[in-house]
Structure 1
Amino acid sequence: MAFDVKTNSLAEYWMPFTDNKGFKENPRLITQASGVYMTDHKGGKVIDGSSGLFCSPAGHCHPKIIEAVHDAMQMTTYVSPFGSSHPLSFALAEKLARLLPEDFNHVFFVNSGSEAIDTALKMVMAYHSAMGNDRTRFVSRERAYHGVNIGGVSLSGLVNNRKSFPAVMPNIVMMRHTWNADELMVRGQPQTGVELAEDLQRAVDTFGGQTIAACFVEPVAGSTGILAPPVGYLERLRQICDENGILLVFDEVITGFGRIGGKFAADAFGVTPDIMTMAKALTNGSIPMGAVATTDNIHDVISDKAAPGAIEFFHGYTYSGHPAACAAGLAALSIYEDDDMYGRAATMSPYFLDSVYQLRDHPMVKDIRGIGMAAGVELKSNGKPGQRGGQAQVDLFWNGMHVKFTGDCGILSPMFISEKSHIDEMMEKLKKTLDGLT
Structure 2
Amino acid sequence: MSHPTPDSNHDALWLPFTANRQFRDAPRMLVSAKGMYYRDDKGNEVLDGCAGLWCVNAGHARPRIVEAVQKTVATLDFAPAFQMGHPLAFEAADRIARLAPNPLNHVFFCNSGSEAGDTALKIALAYHRLRGEGARTRLIGRERGYHGVGFGGISVGGISGNRKLYGSMLNGVDHLPHTLDLRRNAFSRGLPEHGAELADALERIVALHDASTIAAVIVEPMAGSTGVLPAPKGYLKRLREICTRHGILLIFDEVITGFGRLGASFASEKYGVVPDIMTIAKGVTNGTIPMGANIVSDEVFDAFMQGPREAIDLPHGYTYTAHPVACAAAIATLDTYAEEHLFERAAALSPYFEEAAHSLRDAPHVIDIRNEGLVAGIELAPRAASTTRAYEVFERAFHAGVLLRYTGDIIAVSPPLIIEKAEIDRIFETIGTILRSLD
Q: Residue type matched to 1:346 in 2? A: A
Query: What is the CA distance between 1:399 and its match in structure 2?
Result: 1.2
Query: What is the CA distance between 1:391 and its match in structure 2?
Result: 2.2
Report what 1:274 is aligned to.
276
| CA distance in structure 1 between the partners assigned to 2:253 and 2:58 by the alignment | 21
- Give CA-to-partner distance per residue, 1:348-401, whole Å, 9 cap, x none: 111111001000111121111001110101111112466222222111111111
Q: Is residue 213 of structure 2 the alignment partner of residue 211 of structure 1?
A: yes
Q: Is residue 420 of structure 2 the alignment partner of residue 425 of structure 1?
A: no
Gaps of 5+ in 1: none
| CA distance in structure 2 between the partners assigned to 1:75 and 1:102 by the alignment | 34
| CA distance in structure 1 between the partners assigned to 2:211 and 2:381 by the alignment | 40
Query: What is the CA distance between 1:433 and its match in structure 2?
Result: 1.9
Q: TM-score, normalised by structure 1?
A: 0.97
Any conservation in 1 of the 2:346–2:373 contact (CA below 8 Å)?
yes
Report what 1:38 is aligned to.
38
Give runs of aligned pairs for residues 32-431 of structure 1, distance below 5 A.
32-133=32-133, 134-183=135-184, 184-304=186-306, 306-384=307-385, 387-431=388-432
| CA distance in structure 2 between the partners assigned to 1:362 and 1:208 by the alignment | 48
- Give CA-to-partner distance per residue, 1:114-137, whole Å, 9 cap, x none: 000000001001101101111111
User: Do the aligned partners of residues 270 and 162 (structure 1) sit closer, same or farther apart at CA in structure 2, a change above 3 Å counting?
Assistant: same
| CA distance in structure 1 between the partners assigned to 2:406 and 2:386 by the alignment | 12
Query: What SS does the corresponding residue of 2:393 show, helix, strand or coil?
Result: helix
| CA distance in structure 1 between the partners assigned to 2:208 and 2:411 by the alignment | 37
Query: What is the CA distance between 1:224 and its match in structure 2?
Result: 1.2
* RMSD of equivalent CA atoms: 1.2
* Identical-pair percentage: 45
| CA distance in structure 2 between the partners assigned to 1:105 and 1:192 by the alignment | 33
Any conservation in 2 of the 1:97–1:107 contact (CA below 8 Å)?
yes
| CA distance in structure 1 between the partners assigned to 2:382 and 2:322 by the alignment | 43
Query: What SS does the corresponding residue of 2:378 show, helix, strand or coil?
Result: strand
Query: What SS does the corresponding residue of 2:430 show, helix, strand or coil?
Result: helix
Query: What is the CA distance between 1:237 and its match in structure 2?
Result: 0.6
Any conservation in 2 of the 1:386–1:407 contact (CA below 8 Å)?
no
Query: What is the CA distance between 1:246 and its match in structure 2?
Result: 0.1
Query: What SS does the corresponding residue of 2:218 show, helix, strand or coil?
Result: strand
| CA distance in structure 1 between the partners assigned to 2:321 and 2:213 by the alignment | 31
Query: What SS does the corresponding residue of 1:182 show, helix, strand or coil?
Result: helix
Any conservation in 1 of the 2:182–2:368 contact (CA below 8 Å)?
no
| CA distance in structure 1 between the partners assigned to 2:433 and 2:41 by the alignment | 22
User: Do the aligned partners of residues 70 and 253 (structure 1) sit closer, same or farther apart at CA in structure 2, a change above 3 Å counting?
Assistant: same
Q: Residue type matched to 1:200 in 2? A: L
Query: What is the CA distance between 1:63 and its match in structure 2?
Result: 1.1
| CA distance in structure 2 between the partners assigned to 1:116 and 1:386 by the alignment | 33
Any conservation in 2 of the 1:225–1:376 contact (CA below 8 Å)?
yes
- Give CA-to-partner distance per residue, 1:79-129, whole Å, 9 cap, x none: 111111211000000111111111211100000000000000010011011
Any conservation in 2 of the 1:68–1:328 contact (CA below 8 Å)?
yes
Higher mean Cα deviation, 226-235 or 245-254? 226-235
Any conservation in 2 of the 1:386–1:406 contact (CA below 8 Å)?
no
Q: TM-score, normalised by structure 2?
A: 0.97
| CA distance in structure 1 between the partners assigned to 2:42 and 2:240 by the alignment | 51
Q: Residue type matched to 1:379 in 2? A: L
Query: What SS does the corresponding residue of 2:152 show, helix, strand or coil?
Result: helix
User: Do the aligned partners of residues 263 and 132 (structure 1) sit closer, same or farther apart at CA in structure 2, a change above 3 Å counting?
Assistant: same
Matched positions, count? 433
Any conservation in 1 of the 2:6–2:24 contact (CA below 8 Å)?
no
Query: What SS does the corresponding residue of 2:359 show, helix, strand or coil?
Result: helix
Query: What is the CA distance between 1:303 and its match in structure 2?
Result: 2.1
Q: Residue type matched to 2:335 in 1? A: S
Query: What SS does the corresponding residue of 2:180 show, helix, strand or coil?
Result: coil
Q: Residue type matched to 1:416 in 2? A: L
Any conservation in 2 of the 1:225–1:369 contact (CA below 8 Å)?
no
